[in-house]
Structure 1
Amino acid sequence: MTRITLEAANRIIEVALATAAEKKLKPLAVIVLDAGGHAIAYARQDGASPGRFQIAGGKAYGAVMLGLGGRAQMARAEAQAYFIAAANGALDGRLVPVPGGVLVTDASGTVIGAVGISGDTSDNDEACAVAGIEAAGLNAQP
């Protein structure tokens, strides 16, 4: 697969939200972006604050634009805060460099998009993203 289809994006969202329900997490927002950082699909559970769209989007956007999952971005920010600050400026302040932004790759390892989730702890957000990505038959790189 060279891109994330709408069907795959909806599957990612469906499983991510089902995983959140199983774990009894706070209401989530989930966004799936293509490799160019454009939204394919988005959902916000009842009770999730409206700002979650921008936060989930920033997690996914940072992942796809930097080629680094949110966990790797956070490590980079801790080691080289000036780099993440500069990258955030270059990308119009759209980065949210924490877990919950997960790269999506195809079987060959090519980045085909990213998933961003916001609403619970960053670790829980990331776990839901990974579950959704894997359920869609794709590979996750947190």
Structure 2
Amino acid sequence: MSLTLAQARTIIDHALEQGRTDSAQPLAIVVLDAGAHPVAMVREDGASLFRFDIAKAKASGALGMGADTRVLAARAASNPVFFQSVVAATGGRLALSPGGVLIRDVEGAVIGAVGISGDTGECDEACAIAGILAAGLSHGDMK
């Protein structure tokens, strides 16, 4: 199964809705397919300059390392030299903060990732998960 534009739009719409429910700061959201190609992206009015870049780095980092960025951040805390090397080797395409979440189909296969930046990592991640679930998909380490 491939991630569709309709699914990506649902993820974005519901992530934004969750952000407004949670009174989040303005968000930037990037949805990538399994090959890290952009499917859809949005930047709310007022989102700061680097938010889109950070959101994309969260999504591509999750895909590239095969884990949500929350997991990667925990791993980086105990192995910072390796993760600094990964960030350098990938030209900065990895952000070590929650908000990069793998998207899985109903069978558990990774079909993409969503990256959100704008508020705390925890809020960004909660918005991403809300969007993924609204699209009828699963996330992260769930299978």
TM surpasses 0.5 = yes
2:34: which partner in 1?
Answer: 35
| Deviation of the 1:23 alpha carbon | 1.1
> What's the offset of the Cα at 1:83?
1.8
Residue 6 of structure 1 aligns to which amino acid in structure 2? L
Gaps of at least 5 residues in structure 1 are: none
Letter matched to residue 51 of structure 1 = F
1:70 equivalent to 2:69? Answer yes
- The corresponding residue for 1:92 is 91
2:124 aligns to what SS in structure 1? helix
Report the alpha carbon displacement of residue 89 of structure 1 after superposing the two structures with TM. 2.0
After superposition, residues 8-19 of structure 1 pair within 5 angstroms as 8-19=7-18
Q: State the SS of the aligned residue for 2:128.
A: helix
The aligned residue for residue 22 of structure 2 is: 23
Structure 1 residue aligned with 2:107: 108
Displacement after TM superposition at 1:93 (Å): 1.6
Q: Distance in 1 between matches of 2:96 and 2:119?
A: 15
Cα offset, 1:50, TM superposition: 2.4
- The C-alpha deviation readout for 1:72-98, integer Å capped at 9, x for no partner, is 110110011122112212211211011
Q: d(CA) in 2 for partners of 1:89 and 1:50? A: 22
Task: Map 1:120-135 to 2 at 5 A.
Answer: 120-135=119-134
Give the Cα–Cα distance (whole angstroms) in 1 for the partners of residues 83 and 36 of structure 2: 18
Distance 2:53 2:88 in 1: 16
Q: Which runs of 5+ in 2 are unaligned?
A: none
Runs of 4+, deviation exceeding 6 Å: none
Aligned position for 2:78: 79
**Residues of 2 paired with 1:51 and 1:93: CA distance?**
13
**Helix, strand or coil for the counterpart of 1:95?**
coil
> How far apart, CA to CA, are the structure 1 residues paired with 2:109 and 2:88?
26
Q: In structure 2, give the amino acid aligned to 1:77.
A: A
SS of the equivalent of 1:15 reads helix
User: Cα distance, 1:129 vs. partner?
Assistant: 0.1
Q: Given the two structures, how large is their TM-score scaled by the length of structure 1?
A: 0.96
Tell me the alpha carbon deviations over residues 43-81 of structure 1, each in whole angstroms, 9 at most, x when there is no partner. Answer: 011111121110000000100011010111101100111
Give the counterpart letter for 1:19 in structure 2.
Q
